[in-house]
Amino acid sequence: MTDLARFSINQMTVKQLSLPELMDACGRSGVGQVGLWREPVQEYGLTETAKLIREAGLAVTTLCRGGFFTATDPEAHAAALADNRRAIEEAATLGTDTLVLVSGGLPPGTKDLRAARERIADALTELAPYAEAHGVRLAIEPLHPMYAADRCVVSTLAQALDLAERFPAHQVGVTVDTYHLWWDDRAPAQIARAGAAGRIHAFQLADWVTPLPEGVLTGRGQIGDGAIDMREWRDYVEAAGYTGPIEVELFNEELWARDGREVLAETVERFHSAFL
Amino acid sequence: MTDLARFSINQMTVKQLSLPELMDACGRSGVGQVGLWREPVQEYGLTETAKLIREAGLAVTTLCRGGFFTATDPEAHAAALADNRRAIEEAATLGTDTLVLVSGGLPPGTKDLRAARERIADALTELAPYAEAHGVRLAIEPLHPMYAADRCVVSTLAQALDLAERFPAHQVGVTVDTYHLWWDDRAPAQIARAGAAGRIHAFQLADWVTPLPEGVLTGRGQIGDGAIDMREWRDYVEAAGYTGPIEVELFNEELWARDGREVLAETVERFHSAFL
């Protein structure tokens, strides 16, 4: 289907590397694309990061992440919108056309998933035109259902598309991430639905390994180490017409404890041996 | 909808209590129904447990659990079938008409969820008539998608019903458990589907609390402590025509560390305050 030209390393996979170290490691590994996160970019400096990226000749595939739209408190809701406008501006400054959105969980003390999902739609109505004006597409990421309470009430690709389809495809699409979708027998048909409408705005890989760690945030497995048939998902996305970048985004304490350059090289190797 | 007459305490909720202690605590709390687990029953003795139950005048709502049908190795598959026949016999001896099935995860080294699900159907074909001959109904329990790799490849109520509907409803139905289904926007319609066909063979409650513990097995929250609107799910199941027992099944290290009688009394109180 592809070669290293479509590979992108998400910054979180090798978060032990500083931005200059990441640029350098990408150069040495022949990696031409990166997915960035707002926090380390802000820490290094937005303008400085954009300059570094330009000088290294890298492409930025996504910025992670906007979202967290589910607050019921009006002030918190307004603050979330303001923060997402800044995220859109940051994406534009970094030269990426895609901002990944993690929608947010249930506000403390509430139990209404449906209402929380509807507040996401309200926020997107405000933000989608602003994103378009900055040349940025929003990519709603369904997270695994185990995050529904505390992180993301959008748990399936079908739900993400139900939200996205209220907006033009060049404004709002979805992020397809194997880690979050692999268990779902409906996901293949939803990938086809997303692809037919040009709404696959990002494609990310991580493998499913058990046992899950406490808090279930940092247990994403290296490609090939877990339960997911990566080629099966490659084929779904390819059949849906997606020809964009393929980002590897791992949150994994064991990988973070190792030398970041070594992890990057291993990730490239796994991309070849387990995905291509 | 109901009162304590429909309440059932699953043995795992108060696993610190021996079977005689459980019988005694139920008597003192006015609880007339229990869900049992095979391991503690075998440890105490099957015949002895059945006698104890009869003498206490309790009803056994379910036996947990059969299943683990996904092995590819023929010997392991045959052993699973033999073990499930024993589970059916045990259910009959204990006087319950319902055996809960946890289907099993991906066999080590395999990545084919679809094939694993098909092997469950093969096993049910063998076991369903055997269960009927013993007056026992099989109740396929979809587990939360976070268990798909290592415990149960049946992740949604829709999948469980797709399997169950290959058999008569008096042979094979489903277990509806709030903990496993609460995130799923399709579950309400699937509960209606299950109820219309008389396939809700068990209804269990547990609440969703975060953060999840390592291994994600022992983090089920006390009713009312978490993200699940219990009355919403009560209404779905009631609207589907279900009039059977309502079992509270919690796996929770904090509850297990407390006095079991106190936990039982608290669980009855929560059933009243958060579910009824």
Q: Are A239 and A192 within 8 A, CB to CB?
A: yes
* Domain segments of chain B as ranges: 4-275
Query: For residue A1, what pLDDT band results from cuts at 50, 70 and 90?
Result: very low
Residues in CB range of B163: below 8 A, 6 or more apart: B117, B120, B121, B124, B140, B154, B172
User: From CA A257, how far away is CA B102, in angstroms rounded?
Assistant: 36
Average pLDDT, chain B: 97
Residue B94 scores a pLDDT above 90: yes
Substitution target in B70, B111, B218 with the highest count of A β-carbons within 10 Å is: B111
**CA nearest to A218 within chain B:** B214
Chain centroid offset of residue B268 CA: 18
In angstroms, what is the C-alpha Rg of chain B?
17
Partners of B10 in beta bridges: B35
Farthest-apart Cα atoms in chain B, separation: 49
pLDDT number for residue A166: 98
Contact residues, A window 71-110, toward B, CB-based 8 Å cutoff: 106
Collect all residues of chain B within an 8 Å Cβ-Cβ radius of residue A210.
149-150
Kind plus residue range of the DSSP H or E element containing B139: strand B137-140
pLDDT at B2 over 60: no
**Are B113 and B153 a contacting pair, CB within 8 Å?**
yes
Q: Report ipTM (2 d.p.).
A: 0.96
Q: Which of B156, B185, B216 sits opposite A216 (nearest CB)?
A: B216
Condensed to tens digits (0 to 9), the pLDDT of residues B136-194 reads 999 999 999 999 999 999 999 999 999 999 999 999 999 999 999 999 999 999 999 99
Tell me, yes or no, if A224 comes closer than 8 A to chain B by beta carbon. Answer: no
CATH pick for A4-275 out of 3.60.15.10, 3.40.50.1820, 3.20.20.150, 3.40.50.720: 3.20.20.150
**A215 vs B: CB within 8 A:** yes
Judge whether residue B1 has pLDDT over 70. Answer: no
Contact B216 A215 (CB under 8 A): no
Instruction: Sort out which chain A residues have CB atoms less than 8 A from B159's CB and list them.
Output: 185
Q: Would you state the pLDDT for residue B44?
A: 98
